[in-house]
Structure 1
Amino acid sequence: MQTNLADFIKDTAAGREADAILRTCVHCGFCTATCPTFQLLGDELDGPRGRIYLIKEMLEGQAVTATTQLHLDRCLSCRSCETTCPSGVKYHRLLEIGRAVLEERVPRPLAARAMRFLLCEALPRRWIFKPAVIVGQLMRPLLPAALAAKVPMAAGGAAKPWPRSAGHQRRMIALAGCVQPILTPNTNAATARILDRLGIELVEMRGANCCGALRYHLHAQEKALDDMRQVIDAWWPEVESGRVEGFVMTASGCGEHVREYGNLLKDDPTYAEKAARIAAMTRDASEVLAAEQDQLIALLRQASAGGGERVAFHSPCTLQHAQKIRGVVEALLAAAGYQLSPVADPHLCCGSAGTYSISQPVLAEQLRDNKLAAMTAASPAVLVTANIGCQTHLQSGSTMPVRHWIELIDERLSGG
């Protein structure tokens, strides 16, 4: 499409990037067919093409209002539209640029600013988040239903121990993250047990907490970059020494963001090279296991565990659309003896989307309920996913257990 960006942005790096993205779009509308919010609302401005026009008008100097903010806020950043787009429009980058300009032009109400501040300050800090979760869980029966639904459920069962790896020549690092160690502590432990059987030691590094995605998507950009630098600082000695061969991500949302470190820190002279190297060394847990599939299958056969349970897998948007990893988890579950239940519209978001379930609760719950209906249609025994946000969001609307797929593989190898 033709563009004529305003003087305030046209000669900036962001402006040049936005201009190139806008010119890539041929406004064909294919993206609307796979946009979750357009499917729910049927409003052109709540689909990618409409939002692109809103951003274009804003960058060309036209007036922006709270209405513009509303439609951009409703976007899940799921990137399903990018999977569909025949022209390769980098919609997520255009959205980030547009939202940054919007934050400067349209002040948010005090209550909204307060909520975003609390999310930015509390969620990435375990020493704040953990006691808050405990108090919320204790108080759940006394809370209004709408508020009680936002309190994460307690992790099911006791956390199993990490293996005491010894003598492994191969070593990888897992990101602990901010909320996952509190809500689902067994996820990384299960990954460590599996990799131990494959001759790989998995460790977490002190100081590597939040990957920065949470603050980045709430437009606290400088704080997000600081989170990213902290992770790099914690990991870099291991990279520099050659003691580690890669980084394992069990939360696909974190994995997607860490893989963007090279782009996000490219203008930082101190961290650009380190960020790019770490991004290149980052793998989703499914990719790591798939690379060891022959040995893994042999171990599964030796375990002689039972099989046949039906599971329904929700592939998070950060896995299938952002990282372009499709079919890998499903193949691993099938190799472990599980039956995959069909799930209608697997490309659609579950509504979690970082903090979206908090900032847009009505739409998030609609998307969650639609996803749960699709996942349970074939009566599976368990629901599984690959991201902590999706897991807790789906669990908030389900009486069936929602688990991380890696735990199911671990149970098979343990003879469960």
Structure 2
Amino acid sequence: MQTRFTEAQLADPDTASSAGILRACVHCGFCTATCPTYVLLGDELDSPRGRIYLIKDMLENDRPATEKVVKHIDRCLSCLACMTTCPSGVNYMHLVDHARQHIERTYRRPWQDRAMRRMLEMVLPKPGRFRAMLLARRLGQPLIPLMPAKLRAMASMAPSRLPRASRMDRPRRHRAEGTRIRRVALMIGCAQRVLAPQINEATIRLLTRHGCEVVVSRGAGCCGALTHHLGRDAHDLARANILAWSEELEQRGLDAIVINASGCGTTVKDYGHMFRTDPELADKARTISALARDITEVIGEIGLQRPSIVTGQRVAYHSACSLQHGQRVQAEPRKLLAAAGFEVAEVPEGHLCCGSAGTYNLLQPEIAGQLRDRKVANIERTRPDVIAAGNIGCMTQIATGTGIPVLHTVELLDWATGGPRPPGLVANALQAAV
């Protein structure tokens, strides 16, 4: 694609990056077939190719975002299926991130939208605030039908029972069982700590059982993904993680930074790009990104222990977009589940997003609901006993549309290799000791 950016425009690193991405696009249209919003809506402007044209025009002419541009960029899930499909290697992720930042700088949204986005930015990355909001939601249950659509969507996704905070999430060191073969830092995250603290607990048990010393670093917290994808500046959140893990690396050494929420993993693996122009943190950010691993990558490298039970469970594995498209981690979770003794069912249209996409299901509830229903129908077609996924957002989204238990992949791997049976999962009659 030809571009007409001026030398002055190209002096800006983000614009220079976007110009290179735009030039890589050859208009082939392969991306349209795998774009969830295009599949649903059939509008060219709701496809990656259409959005690329809108972004090019906006950035090249250095004009404020229009209502039309905002509408179609807001509808993008950032699922990155287009990047998996693209034969030209177009980095749509960095392009749409730049477009969202430009929108936030140049477009004034309606006050309700501004208030909603500001609330999400201020609450979700802060576990204490998020927990308080969920508790307040329970008290305000009778008022939910009177709320605006987006607030109703948010309230409907809140758990009926809020689990207690886990002590294992506190900064500390968890010793490896037996001979230590690796030392890793676990990213404990933000929203996941509130909604499903058992995921971090299962991750720590699984890692220590496989010879990993696990450290929860003081000062590390939210990865910044939720804020970043709202077009807001997430550098402060990312910087805190980079500094915390860099200190751990320099003082005691780290073999990996383990992440069990794939949306976070995609962002942490991109810290090197985010801080590429920062003279103080560029090198550290690249190092942290290089150390970042999804939990299934780490266990896959070590090798799963022989299962201690035969579960007899049929598992529908939902491949989160941020894992299969954002990180290109596709085979590892399936292989590990099969090695743990589960019967793994392939979900039809597995490349399509479930509609969660960070805060997307809260900001675009109608489209997100259609994608959830489509995903659930495809999952239920496989007749599973349980659904597995590697991202808390996907788990929460899918669970609102089905009665089948939805668990994190690591909870099932932990159970199969000696951990407790995950809550809410009915024991199969075939379950027996190996």
Question: Within the alignment, does 1:197 sit opposite 2:229 as a pair?
Answer: no
Cα deviations by residue, 1:335-362 (Å, 9 ceiling, x for unpaired): 1111112211100111111100111000
- Which one of the candidate residues 164, 174, 177 is aligned to 2:186? 174
- The aligned counterpart of 2:426 is none
Q: Secondary structure of the residue that 2:223 maps to in structure 1?
A: coil
* d(CA) in 2 for partners of 1:44, 1:217: 22
**Structure 1 residue 38, shift from structure 2 partner:** 0.2
CA gap of 1:226–1:250, structure 2 versus 1, over 3 A, is: same
Determine if contact 1:150/1:358 at 8 Å carries over to the other structure. no
Q: Which moved more, 1:107-116 or 1:2-11?
A: 2-11
> Which portions of structure 1, spanning 4 or more consecutive aligned residues, are displaced by more than 6 angstroms?
155-163
* d(CA) in 2 for partners of 1:341, 1:5: 48
Determine if contact 2:78/2:93 at 8 Å carries over to the other structure. yes
- The aligned counterpart of 2:299 is 289
Determine if contact 2:259/2:295 at 8 Å carries over to the other structure. yes
**Structure 1 residue 156, shift from structure 2 partner:** 7.6
User: What's the Cα RMSD here?
Assistant: 2.2
- Which one of the candidate residues 328, 331, 350 is aligned to 1:327? 331
- The aligned counterpart of 2:276 is 266
* d(CA) in 1 for partners of 2:226, 2:247: 25
- The aligned counterpart of 2:32 is 32
Determine if contact 1:168/1:201 at 8 Å carries over to the other structure. no
* d(CA) in 2 for partners of 1:158, 1:204: 15
* d(CA) in 2 for partners of 1:310, 1:155: 28
**Structure 1 residue 242, shift from structure 2 partner:** 3.5
- The aligned counterpart of 2:5 is 5
- The aligned counterpart of 1:366 is 370
Question: Within the alignment, does 1:401 sit opposite 2:405 as a pair?
Answer: yes
- The aligned counterpart of 1:255 is 265
TM-score (norm 2): 0.89
Q: Secondary structure of the residue that 2:183 maps to in structure 1?
A: strand
Question: Within the alignment, does 1:239 sit opposite 2:240 as a pair?
Answer: no
* d(CA) in 2 for partners of 1:205, 1:130: 21
Q: Secondary structure of the residue that 2:293 maps to in structure 1?
A: strand
Determine if contact 1:153/1:395 at 8 Å carries over to the other structure. no
The code of the aligned residue for 1:42 comes to: G
- The aligned counterpart of 1:216 is 228
Q: How many aligned positions are there? A: 408
Cα deviations by residue, 1:109-155 (Å, 9 ceiling, x for unpaired): 11111111111111111121111112324544652264531324546
Determine if contact 2:100/2:230 at 8 Å carries over to the other structure. no
- The aligned counterpart of 1:206 is 218
Determine if contact 1:160/1:186 at 8 Å carries over to the other structure. no
* d(CA) in 1 for partners of 2:174, 2:9: 54
- The aligned counterpart of 2:390 is 386
* d(CA) in 2 for partners of 1:148, 1:72: 25
The code of the aligned residue for 1:311 comes to: V
Cα deviations by residue, 1:198-244 (Å, 9 ceiling, x for unpaired): 111222122211011111111221xx100011112222221002332
The code of the aligned residue for 2:92 comes to: Y
CA gap of 1:148–1:98, structure 2 versus 1, over 3 A, is: closer
Q: Secondary structure of the residue that 1:207 maps to in structure 2?
A: coil
Determine if contact 1:187/1:406 at 8 Å carries over to the other structure. yes
Q: Secondary structure of the residue that 1:384 maps to in structure 2?
A: strand
* d(CA) in 1 for partners of 2:24, 2:274: 22
* d(CA) in 1 for partners of 2:128, 2:383: 39
* d(CA) in 2 for partners of 1:132, 1:66: 31
**Structure 1 residue 258, shift from structure 2 partner:** 0.6
CA gap of 1:351–1:244, structure 2 versus 1, over 3 A, is: same
CA gap of 1:309–1:206, structure 2 versus 1, over 3 A, is: same
